Amino acid sequence: MLLGRVVGTLVSTRKIESIEGLKLLVVQPVTTGNRPAKGYVIAIDVVGANTGEIVLYSQGSATRQTPETDKCPVDGLITAIVDTWEVGGKEVYNKSGSEKPA
């Protein structure tokens, strides 16, 4: 799993049937120090994430191992919304608003 911040949404009115009704979000990877990393990922959201939230996401074959994405051509999947994380005994992120980039 990887850490990322939801930075936007993606709307597609025409898509294959197996992903109809699934929410697409734009995720920017972040480092363990809560700094933006290069690139962006388009990910299916099955947990109800919102713009600005830090999430755990998966890529590759692991993304197709959920009931919502079974046998779907999906390469990015948001699997959790992060509440807090710490690195080396120091809190790096807290969803309640006390972000502390390392």
Give the pLDDT score at 39.
96
Give the DSSP letter of residue 66.
Answer: S
Task: Domain ranges for the chain, please list them.
Answer: 2-94
Give the pLDDT score at 65.
66
Give the pLDDT score at 82.
97
**pTM of the predicted structure, to 2 decimals:** 0.86
In CATH terms, 2-94 corresponds, of 3.40.50.150, 2.60.40.10, 1.20.140.10, 2.40.50.220, to 2.40.50.220
For 39-90, write each residue's pLDDT tens digit.
999 999 999 999 999 999 998 777 666 767 777 787 899 999 999 999 999 9
Question: Rounded mean pLDDT of the chain?
Answer: 88
4/57 Cα distance (integer angstroms): 7
Helix (H, G, I), strand (E, B) or coil at 7: strand
Residues of 13-30 as b/e, b for ≥16 C-beta within 10 angstroms?
Answer: eeeeeebeeebbbbbeeb
For 53-64, write each residue's pLDDT tens digit.
999 999 877 766
